[in-house]
Chains A and B, each alone.
Chain A
Amino acid sequence: MRNTPEILIVEDDPQIRRFLRATLAAEGYRFHEAETAEEAISQAAARQPDLILLDLGLPDLDGLEVIRRVRATSSTPIVVLSARGREQDKIDALDSGADDFVGKPFGVGELLARMRASLRRAATIGEGGTATVFCTAGVEVDLDKRTVRKEGAEVHLTPIEFHLLQVLIRHAGKVITQRQLLVEVWGPQHSDQAQYLRVYMAQLRRKLETHAARPQFLLTEPGVGYRLLEV
């Protein structure tokens, strides 16, 4: 395990590249740069970076293509940079295998937080060990015993609610699209019945959140999906 993670920046705009460079250097990350999709694919294969920061709008190929090519050979976390308001792009990227996205324009704080989360997740999977107990915002989930406690008091969840929570915990910190959730919990044939998912999410929030309308960790990314926040 290297101490300082190596990042591949895939971005065609020189100004943004410059600012990313400065930010990553200040955080102590090592980095490489790619301006085109082709360069990105070859560098990803050659250097095996710990994380890829990918801009979707590239001059030669669609950024989605880069995700698919990289995913074909490796599970390197990919964080996508995309313009706000283009929800379908985000969904496509996530469904193609991206781990997370940051909407442009973005603040450095948000970007670094997403990168850290992705790196951490990759590291846990890499270790092979999965924590059996997950804690956040006063909620404690024991995945082995299938118990959930909120502020110490046991909360009863239906099998589907628990399954849903389980999937969210597995992807904790990153966005998971509605389609991915539906496929994992209900099976591929139900991938277009998002309203059921929303109803279950609402129930889950009412059981686990203090204020369902001001959620602390079961967050909604409108138009894209859900994110379980590790607090």
Chain B
Amino acid sequence: MVEPARPDPDQLLARVTEEARKQERGKLKIFFGASPGVGKTYAMLEAARRQRSAGRDVVAGIVETHSRSETAALLEGVDLLPSRKAELRGIEIGEFDLDGALLRRPALILVDELAHTNAPGSRHRKRWQDVLELMEAGIDVYTTLNVQHLEGVNDIVAQVTGVVVRETIPDSILDQADEIELVDLPVDELLQRLEEGKVYVAGQAELAKRNFFRPGNLIALRELALRRTADRVDAQMRLYRGDHSIQSTWPVTERLMVSIGPSPFAPRLIRAAKRMADRSGAAWVVVFVDTPQHSGASAQVKERMFSALRLAGDMGAETVTLTGSDVAETLLLYARSRNVSRIVTGKYTGPWWRRVLRGSILDHLLANSGDIEIVAISGDPDTGSPAREPSAPVRPQRWGDYGQALAVITLATGLCIFFRQTLSPVNLAMIFLLGVVIIATRASRRVALFASVLSVASFDFFCVPPYGTLAVDDSEYLITFAVMLVVGLSISSLTGRIRQQAAHAVGGEARTQALYRLTRELAGETLVFDVARKATGIMREVFGSLVVIFLPDQNGKISFWRRTTDQLSVPQTEEGIAQWVFDHGKKAGRGMDTLPGASALYLPLQGSQKTLAVIAIPAEGTELPASPEQQHLLELFASQTGLAIERVQTTAAVRDAQLQVETEQMRSSLLSAVSHDLRTPLATITGAASSLLIQGGQMSAETRSQLLESIAQEADRLSRLVNNLLEMTRLESGAVELKRDWHPLEEVVGAALTRLDGLLKGRAISTNIPEDLPLLSVDDVLLEQLFLNLLENATRYTPPGTPIRIAARAQNDGVMIEIADSGPGFAPGEEKLIWEKFYRGKGQGARGTGLGLAICRAIAQAHGGSIHAENRAEGGAMIRLWLPLGGKPPEAPPLAQHA
């Protein structure tokens, strides 16, 4: 199984990122000991003093000196963080002040007693969580820990010492530590210190203390501590080797799979597997197979299952919930798909007959495992054999069901009494069986059981001679009774199972449906808020509980004002919790280890890169998420919603980027066009003016007037360009508010023609505007501008003296205006291009700004109208402008009689 290989690049990469992460994070050093009294705190303080004299900013976060002077002496000169006042069972105690520490931001902080449980009302339930947050904030932490507080050895400690330690920390914390210093003291010396009263053990009665500090216990604990440290050194060694390829061996990663069921024995199984995995350096997966039977399990059993999976997750296992009706088969299928080399499972603890009847999971595994190793671990003697949990009935039991069963059996009995002379007893038994089947298909298993027994009894009583007694003449009937009972029970059990499976399938179907619906409905939304709001509604329907999603603002600040429901169903004071969840991407609140006192459960809504929002599930009217499958579904919903939000954000970002590119392109083309157009007339003006200034005296009058003329012309051109630019900018920025009023078209066209009198000189201008044309609701200034630009353009691209025709007629709730010339018309394809900014026609004398027609289009569009260009069949260009009336024209003037 050993293959010579270079270090796996993926693994190397993973370690590099891990190291990079570690560099930003604060470093954790654990002073690790076998038992209280070995001098961990002392060692920590000494180390802290050394750091301090090396010039580091060291703060004592919380240090228990247990009023020992030599320890207290070491604290001298070290900054002490004031402790936070908390209340525990009515007594005021000093707790570690996490916020104070984060605010103070020392380089190194001392936090004693890593396994400490915080007083209620603290942010985290456990001190180790505080420490993790400190590290995340980039603060180095020194802390102390006794081996018995390690989750992974918890049950061994309990076995060895008989003392159950309640304050435990996940083993992963130890693995996360950058450094572990073992503080070791030989047992004899420790006992001597104990004798001298130098050891303080909190909260332990004298007797318990005696029991705990027995030499046997201490030796065992010392061995545990040494071994745990050695394991770690070993792991480091392996890492080092892998890193440097000292030996060209790289172990193929072994994978261990633990199968757990809903028994109370699961945590023990998980711990054992963890030790096994650690020893062999294997990855491990904890698997729970959700069978139809489980869907009927009681809430208590589900909760136990849930917490076992959570424990496994905390201990660093990958946790998986599989669905299947055959546990062994599902497990093996999954094991093969993941290349699992060893399956760890519990020994069967149920009644022997059930094992004989159905076979245990273990038997199935052993029979079909092939080359996968199977390890069975026995049940824990202390907790007793795991009591069988009563499975909650799929249907609630009702006394009515018993009544119905009674009625059916009575009917069967009646029939049998009626036929007992004509039919043989074997056939009478069939009538009873029919009755049992009918009951079993409708009622619960218990009722079916009741019916089976009752039918056997009444068969015996009424149909088996001697009638009227339970006594039996022919002992052969005992076989009939037995078969009847077994058949009845089997049928009831089978139908019960089928019903559960059906319910399970329905549940699974409903979940799939709900998820599908979520994905489908979210896909149509284009705004983050709408996505969140829709998801809230669907989750509320599916989970039957209030759900609120809080969205952050641009600065990543969560505000309860940015929520997806009308009513705020969580207290405003919990905004900070939501913010914490958003910042750290971790769950918090009700039922969690962090801020368990909150009224709601807060879950981060994760995208692929970062946390996008926070979901809150208020306590009112819900116990969500009660079961693992609910929890699982909730997480699925959250991740789907997260993906949908991310999709919307990405789409928006892409659109923005595209817009920016377009704007940038437009800006640069505008800049180049404008700079050219501005410079050319300016060059003429400057040149001509300076020439006049310097050499004017020597010039002929004719030359002078030519120069002056070009100055005037170019200034005029410049002025037109600037006006157009300003107009375009105004229109495009949306700053233009149309000042609509009712105007006769004739008046606006007339004003434009008057203004262009000079330019139009020598041309035949025909206007055909009917007198009865309705008034138009337009901005007359902009509309005049439109006509000015169109007419100017027509004069620029047509030979002088050619006619221009303007005609208008009412059309489609608006007015169609046609402006036709007799020039060369548009080049092919130009009809559309001319409306673009900075497009200049290819005709002669093309000296426009390239903006005039773009402005025309912008003005037409601002009015809700449209403008098109085409070539006339008889030659020349034609512009068609359609403008809507813009509302209902006013009545004829009522003031006619006034004057």
Binding site for B on A (CB under 8 A): 84-85, 87, 105, 158-160, 163, 185-187, 190, 193-196, 198-202, 205-206, 211-215, 219-223
Separation of A75 and B361 alpha carbons in the complex (Å) = 112
- Asked if A195 meets B742 with Cβ closer than 8 Å, knowing A160-B895, A186-B898, A213-B767, the reply is yes
Separation of A200 and B898 alpha carbons in the complex (Å) = 13
Whether A202 contacts B746 by the Cβ 8 Å rule is yes
Whether B780 contacts A223 by the Cβ 8 Å rule is yes
B783 — which chain A residues lie within 8 A by C-beta?
Answer: 222
B739 — which chain A residues lie within 8 A by C-beta?
Answer: 223
A223 — which chain B residues lie within 8 A by C-beta?
Answer: 739, 780-781
B841 — which chain A residues lie within 8 A by C-beta?
Answer: none
Separation of A211 and B750 alpha carbons in the complex (Å) = 9
Separation of A202 and B751 alpha carbons in the complex (Å) = 12
B368 within 8 A of A: no
Tell me how far the C-beta of B107 lies from the nearest C-beta in chain A, rounded to whole angstroms.
60
Whether B750 contacts A105 by the Cβ 8 Å rule is no
Separation of A220 and B747 alpha carbons in the complex (Å) = 7
Separation of A219 and B784 alpha carbons in the complex (Å) = 13
A213 — which chain B residues lie within 8 A by C-beta?
Answer: 746, 749-750, 753, 767, 769, 806
Whether A105 contacts B719 by the Cβ 8 Å rule is yes
Separation of A203 and B540 alpha carbons in the complex (Å) = 68
Separation of A213 and B748 alpha carbons in the complex (Å) = 8
Separation of A202 and B750 alpha carbons in the complex (Å) = 11
| Chain B residue at minimal CB-CB distance from A221 | B751
Whether A196 contacts B727 by the Cβ 8 Å rule is no
Pick from A159, A198, A214, A215: contact of B899, CB under 8 Å: A159
Q: A160-B896, A222-B783 are in contact. List 15 more A-B contacts (CB 8 A).
A: A85-B727, A160-B898, A186-B895, A193-B895, A194-B741, A195-B890, A198-B744, A198-B747, A199-B775, A202-B746, A202-B747, A213-B746, A215-B750, A222-B780, A223-B739
Whether B753 contacts A214 by the Cβ 8 Å rule is yes
A/B interface sample: 19 pairs, CB < 8 A: A105-B715, A105-B719, A160-B896, A185-B899, A186-B895, A187-B898, A195-B741, A195-B890, A196-B893, A198-B742, A198-B744, A198-B747, A202-B747, A211-B767, A213-B746, A213-B753, A219-B751, A220-B747, A222-B748
| Chain A residue at minimal CB-CB distance from B748 | A222
Tell me how far the C-beta of B696 lies from the nearest C-beta in chain A, rounded to whole angstroms.
15
Whether A201 contacts B899 by the Cβ 8 Å rule is no
As a 0/1 sequence over residues 885 to 899 of chain B, the CB contacts with chain A under 8 angstroms (1 = contact) are: 000001011011011
Q: From residue 804 to 856 of chain B, which have CB atoms closer than 8 A to chain A?
A: 806
B895 — which chain A residues lie within 8 A by C-beta?
Answer: 160, 186, 190, 193, 196
Separation of A194 and B723 alpha carbons in the complex (Å) = 28
B163 within 8 A of A: no
| Chain A residue at minimal CB-CB distance from B730 | A85
Q: From residue 740 to 788 of chain B, which have CB atoms closer than 8 A to chain A?
A: 741-744, 746-751, 753-754, 765, 767, 769, 771, 775, 780-781, 783-784
Tell me how far the C-beta of A106 lies from the nearest C-beta in chain B, rounded to whole angstroms.
10
B726 within 8 A of A: yes
> Which 3 residue pairs are nearest across A and B when measured between Cβ atoms?
A213-B767, A195-B742, A223-B781
B742 — which chain A residues lie within 8 A by C-beta?
Answer: 195, 198
- Asked if A219 meets B754 with Cβ closer than 8 Å, knowing A195-B775, A206-B771, the reply is yes
A202 — which chain B residues lie within 8 A by C-beta?
Answer: 744, 746-747
Pick from A159, A190, A195, A222: contact of B751, CB under 8 Å: A222
B719 — which chain A residues lie within 8 A by C-beta?
Answer: 105
A221 — which chain B residues lie within 8 A by C-beta?
Answer: 751
A187 — which chain B residues lie within 8 A by C-beta?
Answer: 898
| Chain A residue at minimal CB-CB distance from B894 | A196
B765 — which chain A residues lie within 8 A by C-beta?
Answer: 214
Tell me how far the C-beta of A26 lies from the nearest C-beta in chain B, rounded to whole angstroms.
14
Separation of A160 and B780 alpha carbons in the complex (Å) = 24
Whether B746 contacts A212 by the Cβ 8 Å rule is yes
Separation of A208 and B780 alpha carbons in the complex (Å) = 23
Tell me how far the C-beta of A128 lies from the nearest C-beta in chain B, rounded to whole angstroms.
27
B769 — which chain A residues lie within 8 A by C-beta?
Answer: 212-213
Centre residue among A190, A198, A205, A213 by max chain B CB count within 10 A: A213
B723 — which chain A residues lie within 8 A by C-beta?
Answer: 84-85
B748 — which chain A residues lie within 8 A by C-beta?
Answer: 220, 222
- Asked if A220 meets B750 with Cβ closer than 8 Å, knowing A195-B775, A211-B767, A214-B765, the reply is yes
Whether B784 contacts A222 by the Cβ 8 Å rule is yes
Pick from B750, B784, B806: contact of A212, CB under 8 Å: B750
| Chain B residue at minimal CB-CB distance from A212 | B746
Separation of A206 and B45 alpha carbons in the complex (Å) = 105
Tell me how far the C-beta of B887 lies from the nearest C-beta in chain A, rounded to whole angstroms.
12
Whether A214 contacts B767 by the Cβ 8 Å rule is yes
Separation of A161 and B345 alpha carbons in the complex (Å) = 107
Tell me how far the C-beta of A221 lies from the nearest C-beta in chain B, rounded to whole angstroms.
7
| Chain B residue at minimal CB-CB distance from A213 | B767
Pick from B715, B743, B749, B754: contact of A198, CB under 8 Å: B743
A160 — which chain B residues lie within 8 A by C-beta?
Answer: 895-896, 898-899
Separation of A186 and B754 alpha carbons in the complex (Å) = 28
Whether B751 contacts A220 by the Cβ 8 Å rule is yes
Tell me how far the C-beta of B42 lies from the nearest C-beta in chain A, rounded to whole angstroms.
80
A200 — which chain B residues lie within 8 A by C-beta?
Answer: 893
Q: From residue 531 to 574 of chain B, which have CB atoms closer than 8 A to chain A?
A: none
Separation of A190 and B894 alpha carbons in the complex (Å) = 11
| Chain B residue at minimal CB-CB distance from A197 | B893
Separation of A214 and B765 alpha carbons in the complex (Å) = 9
Tell me how far the C-beta of A208 lies from the nearest C-beta in chain B, rounded to whole angstroms.
13
Separation of A87 and B736 alpha carbons in the complex (Å) = 13
A186 — which chain B residues lie within 8 A by C-beta?
Answer: 895, 898-899
| Chain A residue at minimal CB-CB distance from B745 | A213
As a 0/1 sequence over residues 721 to 737 of chain B, the CB contacts with chain A under 8 angstroms (1 = contact) are: 00100110000000000
| Chain B residue at minimal CB-CB distance from A88 | B739
| Chain B residue at minimal CB-CB distance from A211 | B767
B727 — which chain A residues lie within 8 A by C-beta?
Answer: 85
Separation of A194 and B741 alpha carbons in the complex (Å) = 8
A205 — which chain B residues lie within 8 A by C-beta?
Answer: 746-747, 750
Centre residue among B750, B751, B771, B780 by max chain A CB count within 10 A: B750
Separation of A158 and B897 alpha carbons in the complex (Å) = 10
As a 0/1 sequence over residues 292 to 330 of chain B, the CB contacts with chain A under 8 angstroms (1 = contact) are: 000000000000000000000000000000000000000
Separation of A185 and B753 alpha carbons in the complex (Å) = 28
Tell me how far the C-beta of A107 lies from the nearest C-beta in chain B, rounded to whole angstroms.
8
| Chain B residue at minimal CB-CB distance from A187 | B898
Pick from A185, A206, A211, A222: contact of B781, CB under 8 Å: A222
Tell me how far the C-beta of A58 lies from the nearest C-beta in chain B, rounded to whole angstroms.
22
| Chain B residue at minimal CB-CB distance from A87 | B781
A211 — which chain B residues lie within 8 A by C-beta?
Answer: 767
Whether B754 contacts A199 by the Cβ 8 Å rule is no
Separation of A23 and B892 alpha carbons in the complex (Å) = 49
As a 0/1 sequence over residues 615 to 627 of chain B, the CB contacts with chain A under 8 angstroms (1 = contact) are: 0000000000000
Separation of A198 and B750 alpha carbons in the complex (Å) = 13
A105 — which chain B residues lie within 8 A by C-beta?
Answer: 715, 719
Centre residue among B765, B892, B896 by max chain A CB count within 10 A: B896
Tell me how far the C-beta of B513 lies from the nearest C-beta in chain A, rounded to whole angstroms.
61
B890 — which chain A residues lie within 8 A by C-beta?
Answer: 195
- Asked if A158 meets B896 with Cβ closer than 8 Å, knowing A214-B765, A214-B767, A222-B780, the reply is yes
Separation of A200 and B781 alpha carbons in the complex (Å) = 20
Tell me how far the C-beta of A131 lies from the nearest C-beta in chain B, rounded to whole angstroms.
23
Separation of A216 and B107 alpha carbons in the complex (Å) = 88
Tell me how far the C-beta of B826 lies from the nearest C-beta in chain A, rounded to whole angstroms.
26
Whether B743 contacts A215 by the Cβ 8 Å rule is no
A194 — which chain B residues lie within 8 A by C-beta?
Answer: 741
| Chain A residue at minimal CB-CB distance from B780 | A222
Separation of A160 and B754 alpha carbons in the complex (Å) = 26
A158 — which chain B residues lie within 8 A by C-beta?
Answer: 896
Separation of A221 and B746 alpha carbons in the complex (Å) = 13
Tell me how far the C-beta of B65 lies from the nearest C-beta in chain A, rounded to whole angstroms.
76
B780 — which chain A residues lie within 8 A by C-beta?
Answer: 222-223
Separation of A160 and B898 alpha carbons in the complex (Å) = 8
Separation of A179 and B141 alpha carbons in the complex (Å) = 80
